[in-house]
Structure 1
C-alpha cells in the first residue's frame, strides 16, 4: 500500500537505496545509474522540444493574427478611400439632376394702341452653386400654364425660343 502512495521518483530512489544496501555487483548498479541518467536526459530533451514547439506555435499564431489585422485594416482603408474619392468626384463633376426656377415673362406695352407690342421675354440667372459642364448633354424643358379661355384656345400652338449665354463669374 505504501508503494502506491509514493511517486515514481521516490520509488526509483528507494530501489537504488535497496540495491546499494544489497550485495549486488557494481556493474548492475552502474547500468541502473546510467539508465536513470539517460531517462532524465530524455525527459529534459522532451520537455525542451515541447517548449520549443509551443513557443514556435505561439509565434506562428501571433504572426497570423497580426497579418489578419493588417489585411483587415488595409481592406477598410481601401474601401474608405474609394468612398471618399467617389463622393469627391461625384460632387465636383456630376451636375445636379433637376433645376427648377420660375420664369417671369416681361413685355413692352404699345404706346399707340392698347395691348402688347413685343413678344414675352424672360431671363434666368443660375446661381453660383449650379455649375453646368461643357460637353455634357442637358435636357431643358419649359412648362407654361396659361389660363383656359376661348381666346387662348383659338390662338392654337406657338413656338418658344431659347438662347443660352455663358457668363464668367468674378
Structure 2
C-alpha cells in the first residue's frame, strides 16, 4: 500500500506540473497572439494612413496640367457693305468652382487658330491677336498681343500639292487649311488677390477668315511638381516611405508609452510572484500528503520533523487543512 500511494502521489505531482506548464504555455500563446494581432493591425492601419496622406497631398499639391476650351469668335456685320464692322472677339469664362490656376505656379497660355488657305487670308498678311485677363470684378490684370500670318506657299508648290492631294480633297478627308498656334503667355503667375476668371480674345483685323479657335492653358511644372509628374512611382515610394517612417515613429512611442519598462517590469514581478506561490503551494501539498501517509503508519514525530524540514509551521498546516 505504501508503494502504491507513493506512485499515486508522484503521478499527481507530475500531472499538476504538466497542467501548470500547459496553462502557462497557453496563456503565453494567447498573449503573443493578441500582441501580434494588435501589431499587424497597427502596421496595416499605418500603411493605409500613409497612402491616404500621400494621395491627399498629391491631389492638393499638383495643379491641373491641361485646360482646353473652345473660343467662339463673334462680330457685328455691316449692313451696307460685305465684311465685318468690328474686330472678331471672344469671351471665355474660366471655372468658378475653385481657381483654375494655383498661386505661385507658372502657366503657358496658347490660342490655336484654324485658318483657310484662301486668297483673302493671303492678302491680309500679318494680323494681331490680343488676349486680356480680368478678375471677377472685371478689373484688367494683364494683356498680351501676338502677331501671326499664314505660312507662305509658292504657286508651284501649291499646284503640285493640290494635284497629289486631290483624292483626299475630293473625299473630304483633307482640307486646304493651316493650323496656327500662338503663345500668348509663356510664364504667367496668378495673383492671389486677383484670381483670373475671364479671358477676352480679339483679332485686330476686319478681313481675316477663321474656321475655329481654341484656348489651352498648360502648367509649366518645375521642382517637386516636375518630379512627381514625370517619376510618379519613385515619388510615390519616397512619399509613402516618409509617411511610414513618421507614423512608425509615432506608433513606437505610443507602444512604449502603453507597454513601457515599468509595466513590463510589473508584469515580470507578478509572474515571478505567481511562480513562487505555486511552488509554495506544491511544497505544502507534498508536506500534507507525506504527513497523512505518516499518520497512517502511526509516526507523528516523523511528520513533525518532515514539516520542520519543509519550512512550514504547524499553524500553516492547520490553516491549509481548514
The question of a shared fold, defined as TM-score above 0.5 by the shorter chain, is answered with yes
Aligned residue for 1:52? 20
Equivalent position to 1:79, from 27, 36, 47: 47
Tell me which of 110, 122, 127 is aligned to 2:90.
122
> Which of 108, 112, 128 in structure 2 is aligned with 1:143?
112
Give the Cα separation in 1 of the matches to 2:49 and 2:56.
10
Q: 2:73 aligns with which of 105, 127, 134?
A: 105
Give the 3 Å change call, closer, same or farther, for CA 156–70 of structure 1 in structure 2: farther
Q: Which has the larger radius of gyration?
A: 1
Deviations 1:20-72 (A, max 9, x none): xxxxxxxxxxxxx2x54443333222222211111111112112221222122
Provide the C-alpha distance between the structure 2 equivalents of 1:63 and 1:158, rounded to a whole number of angstroms: 83
Tell me, in whole angstroms, the C-alpha distance in 2 between the residues paired with 1:67 and 1:153: 82
Structure 1 pair 135/111, CA: closer, same or farther in 2 (3 Å)?
farther
What RMSD, in angstroms, separates the aligned Cα atoms of the two structures? 3.2
TM-score computed with the length of structure 1 as normaliser: 0.61
Q: Residue by residue, what CA displacement relative to the aligned partner does 1:107-129 show, whole Å, maximum 9, x if unpaired?
A: 45568865345443222111223
Equivalences, count: 137
Deviation at 1:158, TM superposition (A): 4.6
> Comparing both chains, which one has the higher relative contact order based on Cα–Cα distances under 8 Å and sequence gaps of 6 or more?
2
SS at match of 2:68: coil
TM-score where L is the length of structure 2:
0.36
Q: Secondary structure at the match of 1:95?
A: coil
